[in-house]
Amino acid sequence: MNCIAIDDEPRALDVIKNYASKVPFMTLKETFTNSLKAIEYLQKNKIDLIFLDIEMPNLSGLDFLRTLEAQPMVVFTTAYSEYAVDSFEFNVVDYLLKPIDFNRFVKSVNKALKQFNLQHHEKNEIELSQKESKKSDPFILVKSGTKIHKLLKDDILYIQSDSNYVYFFTQVERIISVFTMKEVLDLISDERFIRIHKSYIINLNQIDLIEKHQITIGQNKIPIGYSYREHFFNRINSK
């Protein structure tokens, strides 16, 4: 599991760094004393688990979680026991009271590992189910956090890739999930959907306007990547 730790106290981070080095299935990728820097890091890197202090200046641990669209697993670390109730509000893995005991730390990361394995098992089950489905299936299943959404293909306007995540856009909602663009095309397995940019897959039936360098779907203008342009216009001209 790839992890980060966020705490405004360097000594607390040193403790977590020391403990994490003794757990073979954990890799502590980074530590942060500034939660805003951690947000920037998470936008570019996929992390499975965050050790998060609650009482921090500028942006508290609770407010930090509210900024995340796709929340990794979280273990709260704090010196104040009254925050324990918040660990249930945010559905975090565990709550560690400072000073953190190593045995208690190990128990916490074992809980995280069980949840990690369960989440990956569920994702694999969904992917297997999709592969066994026929191309004529009118819907796909998309896992987002702890929820599984049933999306009608007809309702999907386009899909956008952003760093480690993809967004499925419909008329009424935007659903975030963890896929590569190739995995999305394999998942949908439908000729109506075509990749027109390294960051975009579109539903051909939803196009409102086609221009030389972009297409329009509703109010959204989507660029046509240079390396995808020829294939896209060949498909359009063959319809």
Quick one: pLDDT at residue 122?
64
**At 233, which helix (H) or strand (E)?**
helix 226-238
Residue 61 to residue 56: CA distance in whole angstroms: 7
Q: Taking all residues of the chain, what is their mean pLDDT, rounded to a whole number?
A: 87
Structure tokens belonging to residue 137? 């299936």
The CA distance from 217 to 210, in Å, is 9
Band (92; pLDDT cuts 50, 70, 90) = confident
**pLDDT tens per residue, range 127-185:** 666 555 545 578 899 988 888 999 999 999 999 998 778 999 999 999 999 888 999 99
Q: Does pLDDT of 84 surpass 60?
A: no
What is the sign of the dihedral through the CA atoms of 69, 73, 77 and 82?
A: positive
Question: In percent, how much of the chain has pLDDT > 90?
Answer: 56
pLDDT at residue 213, as a whole number: 93
What local confidence, expressed as pLDDT, does residue 83 receive? Answer: 54
**Residue 80 pLDDT class (50, 70, 90 cuts):** low
Cβ neighbours, 10 Å, residue 1: 19
* Local confidence band at 18 (pLDDT 50, 70, 90 cut-offs): very high
**Dihedral (Cα; 14, 104, 4, 63), 10-degree rounding:** -110
At residue 167, the pLDDT reads 96
Q: What pLDDT sits at residue 81?
A: 61
Residue-level pLDDT at 87: 52
Q: Supply the pLDDT for residue 134.
A: 46
For the chain, the C-alpha Rg in angstroms (whole number) is 21
Q: Determine phi and psi for 45, rounding to 5 degrees.
A: -135, 140
Confidence grade of residue 124 (pLDDT, cut at 50, 70, 90): low
Identical fold at 2-123 and 133-238?
A: no
Pick the closest to residue 61 from 24, 82, 86 (CA basis). 86
pTM of the full structure: 0.57
Show me where the domains of the chain are located. Answer: 2-123, 133-238
Higher pLDDT, 57 or 73: 73
CATH superfamily of 2-123: Response regulator (3.40.50.2300)
Q: Which of 52, 146, 66, 59 is nearest to 95 (CA)?
A: 52
Q: Give the per-residue SS3 of 158-174.
A: EEEEECCEEEEECCCCE
Which CATH number, 1.20.1050.10, 2.40.50.1020, 2.40.50.100, 3.40.640.10, labels domain 133-238?
2.40.50.1020
